[in-house]
Structure 1
Amino acid sequence: MSVAREPRVVALRVGRRRDISVAASPRPPVSWLVEAPAAWVAVRAELRLDGAAVAVASPYGILEDWPFAPLRAGGTHALEARVVGADGMASPWSEPCEVRAGFPAGAWSAPFLRLADPGRAAQPFLARREFTVAETVVAAELQVAAHGVYHARLNGADVDDAVLSPGWTAYQRRLPLHLTDVTSLVRPGVANVLAMEVAGGWYTESYGFGETSERFYGDQAAVAPLLRLRHSDGRVEEIRADARWRLTGDGDLVSSGIYAGDEIDLRRHPRGWDATAFDDATWETPALSEPDRQPEVIDVEPVRRIRSLPVVAMPESADADRILLDFGQNIVGRVRLRVSGPAGTRITLRHAEVLEGGRLSTRPLRAAAATDTFILDGAADTVCEPRFTFHGFRYVEVTGYPGALDPADVTAVVLHTDMTRTGWFSCSDERLTRLHENIVRSFAGNALSLPTDCPQRDERLGWTGDAQVFAPTAASLFDADAFFASWLDDVAAEQRARDGRVPTVVPQTLGRLGETMAAGWGDAVTVIPTVLHERFGDRSLLERMTGPMRAWVDTVADAAGPGRLWERGFQYGDWLDPTSARPDKAKTDPGLVATAYLARSARLTADALTLSGEAETSARYAALADDVRDAFVAAYVTPRGRLASDAPTAYALALEFELLPAALRRAAAERLAFLLRAGGYRTATGFLGTPLVLDALLSEGQAWAAERLLLQTMCPSWLYPLSQDATTVWERWDAVRPDGSLHPSGMTSLNHYALGSVGDVLHRRIGGLACAEPGWGRLRIQPWFVSSLEHASVTHDTPRGRASVAWERDAAHRERVRVHARIPHGVTALVDLGDRAPFEAGAGIHTWNATAGVRAPAAIGVDSDLTAIADTPDACALVSRSIAEHSPEMATEFDAYIRWVPGSRLRDELAAVSAPDAVVTRIDRALTTLAR
């Protein structure tokens, strides 16, 4: 790592997205990074647009307000920046950033075109229009709105590399408009052709479960293209949908569905349809309709093909006529294959996350067929890839393949919204590093146009609760500001239509089920804007969301009534608590959970209003938060710090949401640690408790309990799925049972990021790098020196530059630790190494020595107290495993009832399940080895 020798400005951009610098509005935010010697102090910045310079008060560009006159639609400008130091020295001007004003001029209006007489519901179609371009054309921009998804080609070339454009929003409230600069593809002076392939995508999909499933938006796809050609004299010529377009529903894409997959008959491909001189006389004239709402440009990266993965194995198939392919990891995307075969050959690809008995396990997919079909036209080396669908899968079953399949001819194409990776973590325990990789993979797979719950079954919806709990981890891994900011606009739009209630899914397509007003789910409207402000410095978004935040809190406060306890109505509560047989019947009382969230959201709303300068209104919500907290304590907390719901999630919520009097926090944390140890440090929290439980322990000095919980390998635990070859985070802690069987529920996804919310803890706690001030203007460096780890490191590309922390133990003296840190220019850090008073550190590269206690294992055996055994790493798992070797049924019984509490011996507990003396002796000998 090195530090800049002289000040300079880099990474200049406009808007929230990082892939290209396009202004989605006339006054886009501006961001940049400053690199400079640590001692050099920047005091202001200057921006220059097309040569005209203005001063900016902040030298550090984090979504700064646009300082120039509003941009005019269609224009292209050169933006530069420099910073000025306290010594009067100015950096050189940055490299020019080309800014394209990518928004429509005034109100947008273009007709939609669709098939006049489609043969069936959700009929894909091709559309083309030939036109002549004058020699005077100097710029061209394609603007497209759609009821569905489309792919456009101009003169035979793709207009961009986006997939499933323009993505999914709450279509009936916010219709996306996709703008693409196509100047380089236009051919002045000759005939041109704009060709579009259109499918229903999310617009024509059926939503719901079982018999409740139905189409929500419409039965047929439509597209509204507008090609704007700017001439050298400033005149703008527009080519839009009209009777001169020609359409056909007889293209090679026979059918398409997000859940069903694509069927492509290459024999029907109209060769040359996307070029001039194609005979479209048999194609039909389109039906035209005006848009029912004003579409808007969405300032977010599109879905793209991110990478390709090879086949890593070909498992033995239980069916001789079916070929199985294993891509080595659970991914989201589709398969591309190269094949030669006779015309009419039908190749079918089915997708699934797991195998059972040498076959695809499709039960977890429910009604999603997840099947792509290709019918060959006889051409050699044909490349086949679906166009308007995606699947969640690791395994693919191939039937009908002509001849022997060469795995080198098959690749998996990974798809997701093209966010920039910004956070990395690793440590000496490869299991934690693998867990982190699984978390990254799960979020990427579920960040496809909007944050979804899962990518494989007939759901793939924007569940607000999942996004709420995972948002901090997402912000630790990717530059997810634009992604979540766009989705929050949908959340706010859906909320406005419901008088303050936030539906449980956004876009809301689930009928009555999606209308549930649930704590932890609706609170996405307060939590996520707060996270985006903290991690990305997105103040304007937070200010914009204060209205929706207030509306949600007001609605919940009304539901709670004057008693300030939200105890009425259905709640998801601590969803999928592993100690409960039903996902919605967690051990923690749902009223306690809901009331805790009301207090938290009221506090977050008050804080946001303070930032917005609305002091009087802020005071009202702060008072509400205090009232709810007092009601919470009165109703649910005993004078000695016990909670009415004596469950880990209850204590985690009370501690992390700061609902307890200071005098009771220690007792509550001790009780939390007691309960976790009593359960053998197996996970006992669901969706809402899991993100909080480790922080609740660590903040109150219960580091050993946190370590044992994090490193547990028994089911349920964060590390248990690794023993079942998991490569993504599961929906259920026991989605795959220890015997290798799938959970019997109809709700079993192997790619669900919610329980991966521990990822933020890996960064902030083990890595020791946390944001201490919005936009990372100040860091907190406080590593958690986990006893069993030899080293750990975390790196994060903050809005102020790259920051990192790494630590390693001395091989000879493990209590001695060396800590390395990199702090970006203009940033300070509060450093807490645990063995001295916290201190300040400035920008630059630092190394510190620290002392961290190491807990030596105690000698244990079957006559040891149960708590001593539970506190010994791997001991509980060893006991369970040893019993299972004798009798799996006995192990199941033992694990179900055992409570690792003080005052009891393991020998007595083994006798209670009638363990033979030989088993007891074997366990005793095995336990003694753990202390060595």
Structure 2
Amino acid sequence: MTYAQKLSVIDLKVEHLKNPMAIETANPRFSWKIISPIKNTLQSSYEIRVGKNKASINLGKDLVWEATVSGDQSVLIKYNGAALHSKRRYFWQVRVKDNHGNTSAWSDAHFFQMGIGAMDWSAKWIKVAETDTSARSPIFRKEFSINKKLKSAMVYVTAKGLYEARINGQRISDTYFAPGWTSYKNHLQYQVYDVTTVLKNGINVFGVSLGNGWYKGRIGFGNQHNFYGDTRGLLLQLLVEYTDGTTETINSDESWKYAYGPIMASDIYDGEIYDARMEIAGWDNIGFKEDNKWNNVRIMEKGPEKLVAMAGPPVKKHEQFKALKIFKTPAGETVVDFGQNLVGWVMLKAKGAAGTKITLSHAEVLTKEGNFYTTNLRSAKAQDIYILKENTAQIFEPHFTFQGFRYVKIEGYPGELTPENVTAVALYSAMETTGKFVTSNALLNQLQHNIQWGQKGNFLDVPTDCPQRDERLGWTGDAQAFANTAAYNMDVSGFFTKWLKDVKADQLPNGAIPHVIPNVLGANDGASAGWADVATIIPWDMYVAYGDRQFLENQYESMRKWVDYISSTAKNNLWNSGFHFGDWLFYRPNDDNDGRAAVTDKYLIAQTFYAHSTQLLINAANVLGKQEDVAKYSTLLTNIKSAFVREYMTPTGRLVSGTQTAYVLALQFDMLPEQLRAACADRLVANIRDYGNHLTTGFLGTPYLCHVLTRFGHNDVAYDLLMQESYPSWLYPVKMGATTIWERWDGIKPDGSFQTPDMNSYNHYAYGAIGDWMYRTIAGINSVADNPGYKAVVIAPKPNGKITSASAELETVYGTVKSAWKLENGLLKLEVSIPANSKAKVILPDLTREIGSGTYYFESKI
């Protein structure tokens, strides 16, 4: 075996991204994974080099940085070379030595590109000449020439609204809903596209369409429009570099022309109307002669917002679904079932007479009679309308809207609708899948499927609560509850890096955190416990999952401001004032004659989250070396817990609310004196047994419920809850045919009727937070806070006879961690794989073992 086969370096990333196009930090950070067939492999040193071009870096020439460093750090290594220049592309590669004396070959050269500096923008914002009140989407056009041999061409573009950019008749990227949704009044993202291979020698044409999007369209409640502004705008800059060393810039400016295209209306909630008869043939390509009839654009003021490079993954197309069946409902409507509740749109093929109007309506469920049901969408029309042009085959898909649906009702279709004419396309942020989880139980496997698809559907640029009704907002409580599960299923490092910037930007001056981020509900001081605590919870969770201190560094002041806000409103260390959502959507039977509704005192809940956020702030301060803050907030935490005991607990450990959520939160956050905790856990178990092994928790209690039971020796009860098939339970929706996670435990009641239509989403990921426990406890894959990012792994599966096998894989920043077990003849048989440059502790009922990288097999009596 040659040295290159023994040891290799793969999956190079800069700032968590592969070949990123717009890095803003002056010292970007490099990561790689190591492959080795030899067990117990650790990196002993690395060599890294960064250069100006791909050809010379392989020769070790024309470098801006090279270093040889001893140690095992292979994740997030900070650049320490010559100053990096705006808009320039750099190439880099690495090779490593291991503790066995092997040296890898140099990795393939990867690249990163620096973003455009604020002073480097020469483009001007352009808009339509008239007041921007038309529902139609404007289209902008500009011809330009390339008259020399091209070396590179980069487009920098953003918009107020949404844009779709084209060159010579073709989309310049596979990104959708750009520039993404941010706190627009604070910062607006730009994207960078390499169009070197798209441009031709001679005349070229830019064509750009604009939509309302979140910026100008309907968003939030109360028919709210124009929240960020009332005028759509475009900013575009093309930087061309020729082989002779000269450069040229083509900008959006007064020379551009505009008209209105075939998108007659487009709204995120209501859908899109597209009239193919209004298409302007060739408008975005060379040879178009009619633009002399188009209007001249106007220049719009820049605005106060800062232009920033795109930080998270773009929204892209992913899975496609053919029609599972096409049928007539009892009401006589034509409906397509795609078999999966998803987020995206339908591609429709049609041919018919000009003016034929085809309407696509979207729904998640059918009534128990089998009819199309949209009442739960509230005021959202969720309709796409396509008006055909002359009798020719056409393919339609929307541009600036998305819908949440499994079923589509189609009206006005000319001729017979066949499965070949309709395809559902899933759209979501392009996050790599990192987690796999499979058990011997088909219902649990479907639950995992539902959790994953709830995440896909609601991680469309921001973590939305739901994707279908007139809401689709970044509710903070949902996001913090699900963040750990999200990080198992997918690589959400970039996704939450981007969103946390908005948490920080939209935080109020007094430190309060709005209910939704980006905040489109207006200024409010109603910082709700368990929602606003997103400011501390997600930064810490992401630090542990990815080992990235920058989550804490970037958010630390926001974390501290949030805790200080609570302290400013607390009295005698009690947070017992203000508005709180409480344990949202907890168990509430319709006929509550016995007082069995699981109502938990909202201020008790608030006090536990006050303590939790303070503890996370202390954790972050420890990591960042802020010892004064550690001391200050440790004293505060002691006072918070003492106040909790005085206010909400009897001397024997009973809580003023005897609910599952009250005991779960008190135990999870260590609010109770240690000698009373076991008895309180017993009370929790008694409550669960009293409800016939059913949970009664809502959004705040559910994520911690099984964790607490397992921690205090009641793993059997946790399994009983997980495997419960009747309402309320995780598997009840699965048994009812769910393909995503529901907002309510009984979104569809046992008799087939629906819960209240005012708030009844069938794609709402919060209760999918059980996935965190499934990975950690069933499969046993755990990160370690004091050695985060899976540099050290704990493999500690806790099986139960209710399932006979489980297998999980997690692609960490070091590589693949695997834990797979089965029960045979009273033995637990476990297979474990640990990636190179990582280590693990395996904990089983009758053994504990420290292991290095490699694949291992264990047996243990149970």
Identify the TM-score tier after normalising by the shorter chain.
over 0.9
CA apart distance, 1:545: 1.0
- 1:849 aligns to what SS in structure 2? strand
Q: Which residue of 2 aligns with 1:9?
A: 9
- Give, as a single letter, the amino acid of the residue that structure 2 aligns with 1:790: T
Q: Cα RMSD (Å) of the superposition?
A: 2.0
Q: Which residue of 1 aligns with 2:93?
A: 80
**What TM-score comes out, normalization by structure 1 length?**
0.87
**Contact 1:34 1:60 (C-alpha < 8 Å) held by counterparts:** no
State how 1:889-900 maps to structure 2 within 5 Å: none
- 1:203 aligns to what SS in structure 2? helix
Larger Rg: 1
- Give, as a single letter, the amino acid of the residue that structure 2 aligns with 1:176: Q
Q: Does 2:232 match 1:231?
A: no
Of the two structures, which has the highest relative contact order with CA contacts closer than 8 Å and spacing of 6 or more?
A: 2
Counterpart Cα distance in 2 of 1:358 and 1:679:
33
Q: Which residue of 2 aligns with 1:923?
A: none
Counterpart Cα distance in 2 of 1:363 and 1:515:
32
CA apart distance, 1:456: 0.1
**Contact 2:121 2:237 (C-alpha < 8 Å) held by counterparts:** no
CA apart distance, 1:243: 2.1
After superposition, what is the alpha-carbon deviation per residue over 1:495-531, rounded to whole angstroms, capped at 9, x for unaligned? 1x4331111101110136x652111111111010111
- 2:582 aligns to what SS in structure 1? coil
Q: Which residue of 2 aligns with 1:762?
A: 774
CA apart distance, 1:207: 2.9
State how 1:809-824 maps to structure 2 within 5 Å: 809-810=823-824, 813=825, 815-824=826-835
After superposition, what is the alpha-carbon deviation per residue over 1:263-318, rounded to whole angstroms, capped at 9, x for unaligned? 00001100000112212122111121131133110221100011211000123323
- Which of the residues 496, 509, 526 maps onto 1:498? 509
Q: Does 2:820 match 1:806?
A: yes
- 2:605 aligns to what SS in structure 1? helix
Q: Which residue of 2 aligns with 1:163?
A: 176
- Give, as a single letter, the amino acid of the residue that structure 2 aligns with 1:625: L
- 1:544 aligns to what SS in structure 2? helix
CA apart distance, 1:89: 4.0
Counterpart Cα distance in 2 of 1:724 and 1:186:
53
Counterpart Cα distance in 1 of 2:370 and 2:439:
35
- Which of the residues 127, 130, 137 maps onto 1:117? 130
CA apart distance, 1:635: 1.8
Q: Which residue of 1 aligns with 2:645?
A: 633
Q: Does 2:271 match 1:261?
A: yes
Counterpart Cα distance in 1 of 2:295 and 2:833:
63
State how 1:97-112 maps to structure 2 within 5 Å: 97-104=110-117, 106-112=119-125
CA apart distance, 1:543: 1.5
- Which of the residues 843, 856, 870 maps onto 2:853? 843
State how 1:827-866 maps to structure 2 within 5 Å: 827-836=838-847, 838-852=848-862
Counterpart Cα distance in 2 of 1:687 and 1:4:
51
Name the CA shift for 1:776/1:403 in 2 (closer, same or farther; >3 Å). same
Q: Does 2:802 match 1:788?
A: yes
CA apart distance, 1:381: 2.2
CA apart distance, 1:586: 5.9
- Give, as a single letter, the amino acid of the residue that structure 1 aligns with 2:819: V
Counterpart Cα distance in 2 of 1:582 and 1:555:
40
Percent identical among aligned pairs is: 37
After superposition, what is the alpha-carbon deviation per residue over 1:727-759, rounded to whole angstroms, capped at 9, x for unaligned? 000011111111111112401100000011001
Q: Which residue of 2 aligns with 1:574?
A: 583
- 1:184 aligns to what SS in structure 2? coil
CA apart distance, 1:103: 3.5
**Contact 1:18 1:301 (C-alpha < 8 Å) held by counterparts:** no
Q: Does 2:624 match 1:623?
A: no
After superposition, what is the alpha-carbon deviation per residue over 1:635-675, rounded to whole angstroms, capped at 9, x for unaligned? 22223222221111111111111222221111111111110
- Give, as a single letter, the amino acid of the residue that structure 2 aligns with 1:114: K
- Give, as a single letter, the amino acid of the residue that structure 2 aligns with 1:218: G
Q: Does 2:355 match 1:344?
A: yes
- Give, as a single letter, the amino acid of the residue that structure 1 aligns with 2:809: T
**Contact 1:131 1:192 (C-alpha < 8 Å) held by counterparts:** yes
Counterpart Cα distance in 1 of 2:635 and 2:488:
32
**Contact 1:15 1:24 (C-alpha < 8 Å) held by counterparts:** no
**Contact 2:126 2:254 (C-alpha < 8 Å) held by counterparts:** no
**Contact 1:62 1:799 (C-alpha < 8 Å) held by counterparts:** yes
Counterpart Cα distance in 2 of 1:582 and 1:187:
71
- 1:281 aligns to what SS in structure 2? helix
- Which of the residues 694, 697, 721 maps onto 1:682? 694
- Which of the residues 316, 327, 334 maps onto 2:338? 327
CA apart distance, 1:20: 5.0
* Structure 2: stretches of 5+ with no match in the other structure: 52-59
Q: Does 2:105 match 1:92?
A: yes
CA apart distance, 1:137: 3.9
Counterpart Cα distance in 1 of 2:4 and 2:437:
25
Counterpart Cα distance in 1 of 2:726 and 2:799:
23
**Contact 1:123 1:200 (C-alpha < 8 Å) held by counterparts:** no
- Which of the residues 266, 273, 278 maps onto 2:283? 273
State how 1:169-208 maps to structure 2 within 5 Å: 169-188=182-201, 190-208=202-220
* Structure 1: stretches of 5+ with no match in the other structure: 853-932
CA apart distance, 1:213: 3.4
- Give, as a single letter, the amino acid of the residue that structure 1 aligns with 2:322: P
Q: Which residue of 1 aligns with 2:55?
A: none
- 2:213 aligns to what SS in structure 1? coil
State how 1:47-446 maps to structure 2 within 5 Å: 47-50=48-51, 51=60, 52=63, 53-86=66-99, 89-104=102-117, 106-118=119-131, 120-188=133-201, 190-209=202-221, 211=222, 213-249=224-260, 251-278=261-288, 279-292=290-303, 293-320=305-332, 322-356=333-367, 357-446=369-458
Counterpart Cα distance in 2 of 1:401 and 1:515:
50
Name the CA shift for 1:374/1:367 in 2 (closer, same or farther; >3 Å). same
CA apart distance, 1:87: 5.6
Q: Structure 1 residues 26-35 or 568-577, which shifts more? A: 26-35
- 1:163 aligns to what SS in structure 2? coil
Name the CA shift for 1:107/1:618 in 2 (closer, same or farther; >3 Å). farther
Counterpart Cα distance in 1 of 2:97 and 2:669:
42
**Contact 2:743 2:763 (C-alpha < 8 Å) held by counterparts:** yes
Counterpart Cα distance in 2 of 1:214 and 1:57:
57
Name the CA shift for 1:749/1:474 in 2 (closer, same or farther; >3 Å). same
Name the CA shift for 1:331/1:400 in 2 (closer, same or farther; >3 Å). same
Q: Structure 1 residues 821-830 or 522-531, which shifts more? A: 821-830
Q: Structure 1 residues 97-106 or 784-793, which shifts more? A: 97-106
Counterpart Cα distance in 2 of 1:409 and 1:739:
35
After superposition, what is the alpha-carbon deviation per residue over 1:3-31, rounded to whole angstroms, capped at 9, x for unaligned? 99612211112122347575344422211
Counterpart Cα distance in 2 of 1:784 and 1:60:
31
- Give, as a single letter, the amino acid of the residue that structure 2 aligns with 1:541: F
**Contact 1:580 1:586 (C-alpha < 8 Å) held by counterparts:** no
Counterpart Cα distance in 1 of 2:18 and 2:664:
36
**Contact 1:576 1:582 (C-alpha < 8 Å) held by counterparts:** no
Counterpart Cα distance in 2 of 1:35 and 1:646:
52
Q: Which residue of 1 aligns with 2:731?
A: 719
After superposition, what is the alpha-carbon deviation per residue over 1:775-812, rounded to whole angstroms, capped at 9, x for unaligned? 101111111212111100110001111010011111xx
Counterpart Cα distance in 1 of 2:213 and 2:471:
14
- Give, as a single letter, the amino acid of the residue that structure 1 aligns with 2:215: Y
Q: Which residue of 1 aligns with 2:57?
A: none
Name the CA shift for 1:324/1:143 in 2 (closer, same or farther; >3 Å). same
- 1:9 aligns to what SS in structure 2? strand
- 1:98 aligns to what SS in structure 2? strand
CA apart distance, 1:712: 0.8
Counterpart Cα distance in 2 of 1:87 and 1:828:
16
CA apart distance, 1:378: 2.0
- Give, as a single letter, the amino acid of the residue that structure 1 aligns with 2:730: W
**Contact 2:341 2:763 (C-alpha < 8 Å) held by counterparts:** yes
Counterpart Cα distance in 1 of 2:198 and 2:68:
38
Q: Which residue of 2 aligns with 1:38?
A: 39
